[in-house]
């Protein structure tokens, strides 16, 4: 029985990890197989403790805590965006799947892994259809300082599109202007509107956008 649960955990981790591996995410095939297998193993051991001494719920709680630290490790904070939250949630869900299998419910665990993969792949297609594909890249603005008024207008536009106001690297140019570089990630239509609003500012001399 335990061997069957171990194999089910490996398979469930591979189902989810394969999708992350294709997207070249930090937590890929090997990581998620190990997360699922480890969670299942700890859960099986914790249930063995209940026949002697100890509380199986305490082991489960420690799994959740440990996975929280692992998930935090794959979240990257950039200048204008935060990435890795979906991968972190996937790690957390894979651990829950492993715990389900370790508790003696391999069919339910495998169903959860298929459902997780379906969310990762199906929701991406739905998002692309409903709000358009995302666009990520870097923007370089050259603008007249205008005693700080120009930067305020730029920050207002960034705020309207839910980008971090404090983001970006600003430096002076030789002719007294300022050059601002920052990254962005927006739905494609919103990115066009965002760049158009920046370019329409009177103080902006030049704007250059480079897509990833």
Question: pTM here?
Answer: 0.57
Q: What is the mean pLDDT of the chain?
A: 81
User: Domain residues of the chain, as ranges?
Assistant: 2-130, 134-211
SS (H, E, C) the chain: CHHHHHHHHHHHHHHHHHHHHHCCCCCCHHHHHHHHHHHHHHHHHHHHHCCCCCCHHHHHHHHHHHHHHHHHHCCEECCCCEECHHHHHHHHHHHHHHHHHHCCCHHHHHHHHHHHHHHHHHHHHHHHHHHCCEEEEEEEEEECCHHHHHHHHHHHHHHHCCCCCCCCEEEECCCCCEEEEEEEEEEHHHHHHHHHHHHCCCCEEEEEEEEC
pLDDT band at 37 (very low <50, low <70, confident <90, very high): very high
pLDDT band at 81 (very low <50, low <70, confident <90, very high): very low
In CATH, the architecture of 134-211 is 2-Layer Sandwich (3.30)
pLDDT band at 158 (very low <50, low <70, confident <90, very high): confident
Q: Which of 30-44, 48-62, 196-210 has the lowest mean pLDDT?
A: 48-62
pLDDT band at 80 (very low <50, low <70, confident <90, very high): very low
pLDDT score at 10: 96
Task: For residue 18, count CB atoms less than 10 angstroms from its CB and return exposed for 0-12, middle for 13-18, buried for 19 or more.
Answer: middle
Residue 38 scores a pLDDT above 80:
yes
CA distance 100 to 65: 16
pLDDT score at 125: 63
pLDDT score at 89: 87
Q: Are 207 and 199 in contact (CB under 8 A)?
A: yes
Q: Are 70 and 8 in contact (CB under 8 A)?
A: no
**Token reading at 167:** 């983001």
Q: Which residue has the higher pLDDT, 109 or 69?
A: 109
Question: Which residue, chain included where needed, has tokens 């651990």?
Answer: 95
pLDDT score at 54: 59
pLDDT score at 124: 65
pLDDT score at 167: 57
CA distance 138 to 91: 29
Q: Are 186 and 194 in contact (CB under 8 A)?
A: yes
């Amino acid at each position: 029985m335990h061997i069957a649960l171990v194999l089910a955990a490996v398979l469930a981790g591979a189902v989810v990890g394969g999708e992350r591996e294709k997207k070249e995410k930090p937590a890929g095939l090997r990581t998620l197989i190990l997360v699922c297998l480890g969670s299942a193993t700890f859960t099986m051991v914790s249930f063995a403790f209940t026949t002697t001494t100890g509380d199986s719920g305490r082991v489960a709680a420690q799994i959740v805590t440990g996975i929280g630290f692992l998930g935090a490790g794959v979240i990257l904070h950039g200048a204008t965006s935060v990435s890795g939250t979906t991968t972190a949630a996937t790690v957390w869900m894979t651990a829950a799947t492993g715990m389900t299998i370790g508790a003696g419910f391999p069919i339910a665990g495998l169903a959860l892994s298929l459902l997780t993969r379906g969310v990762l792949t199906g929701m991406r297609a739905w998002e692309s259809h409903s709000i358009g594909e995302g666009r990520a890249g870097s923007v370089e603005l050259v603008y007249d300082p205008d005693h700080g008024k120009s930067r305020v207008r730029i920050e207002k536009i960034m705020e309207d599109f839910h980008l971090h106001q404090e983001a970006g690297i600003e430096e002076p140019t030789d002719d007294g202007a300022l050059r601002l570089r920052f990254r962005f990630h927006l739905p494609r239509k919103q990115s066009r509107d965002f760049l158009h609003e920046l370019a329409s500012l009177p103080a902006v001399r030049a704007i250059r956008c480079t897509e990833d």
